[in-house]
Chain A
């Protein structure tokens, strides 16, 4: 039977996974809305960001309570730390998705420049990264987390590609500068999302192996 302490850890773990699900939904829907020029969906993404904000505060409070009352050590300490840290990253992913949705609304009514290809690809990689980062945590699979970190390079590469492509579009046709800049912002947001997932994956390696691999250290 689980102790009260283990139950508390379980509860906050469930919440962080719920938050990861919401973040995945936000990224997916914001780019879907952009692709389909669906204003209602974009508005929904912005509205639903509140749920992430609420969860962020709840998770913080619960982690603080556990730290104060249980003074966890070893694997429990590392679990609380990975949750506490990932919490901030997930909330930021929510904010960045909202930014994409806002950009979608701003771009509404303007003629589509071209079919979106790279941006949806970036989004789907980001979503897979979030899923795998959290699978790494639940399965205690550090190799999976390392794969997530590597995939961030793909997103970075696509971001550059989008930038270069839109840059040449803008040179050819100054009338689309506003739209092109909007899409550059979107790609940049997705690139930032990749960075936040990378943070989560790095933290999950700390949780699993006790190693701090950030900034190229310890590996």
Chain B
């Protein structure tokens, strides 16, 4: 399988303080990489570097390089809007637009230049189907998305993300505010989505990392401690530090 993302010696500063230090790793296409580690270890910062979401935070600086499909995305002139279309993101708190369910998905399509109504309708339906939401909302597409349950809202946000056909999906604790059944649906979804997308997910729930990911990266105070196949991380990690973290001995 191909290398989809490559990160070389990435350091990211908030002011003078590095939040992540000299991180190098690569992510294979159509795989799920989980980022784990205690709060403040830099995993969310790292995630946000991958679609340059940190650019909007003042007084920050990035060193090193990030390549997607062997092309650097860190240049000043790089088309960030185009990047974010390719690299979609789902947040911890679902954030649907205060519009109808239909519009939540159609909006992104229109600003991406899709005008044909039938095409939009078809993509809305496909996206809702692939997030297993279609049957639950097909009779009320024109109702406000704010009336959906938390789990449905989160799946709508994922539907909205995949509607514009990204290549990579970043997820920042996508299920941490959801009940177990909604969580299970999101996890099922992640496993279905990896057939088409490359996924990087931050999670505090280690069982979730074990269930959904192919590779797991353990971060600690800005350092990448260990990146290994998820099976290895959760049965016999190479480093004692990783073992201590996943067995709850610290963190």
Contact = CB atoms under 8 A, between A and B. Distances in A.
Interface of A: 3, 5, 71-78, 209-211
Nearest to A74: B243
A10 to B, nearest CB: 14
A74 B234 contact: yes
Interface of B: 206-207, 210, 232-237, 242-243, 246-248
B187 to A, nearest CB: 15
A210 B207 contact: no
B236 A73 contact: no
Interface of B (DSSP majority class): helix
A112 B206 CA distance: 63
Given A71-B207, A73-B206, A78 B248 contact: no
A77 B248 contact: no
Interface centre among B232, B233, B246 (most CB of A within 10 A): B246
B244 to A, nearest CB: 9
Contacts of A75: 243, 247
Contact of B236 (A5, A71, A78): A78
Contact of A210 (B206, B236, B242): B236
11 contacts: A72-B247, A73-B206, A73-B210, A73-B235, A73-B246, A73-B247, A74-B233, A74-B235, A74-B243, A74-B247, A211-B236
Contacts of A76: 247
Interface centre among B210, B232, B242, B248 (most CB of A within 10 A): B248
A130 to B, nearest CB: 25
Which 3 A/B pairs are nearest by Cβ-Cβ distance?
A: A210-B236, A73-B246, A74-B243
Contacts of A211: 236
Given A5-B248, A73-B246, A75-B243, A209 B236 contact: yes
B43 to A, nearest CB: 18
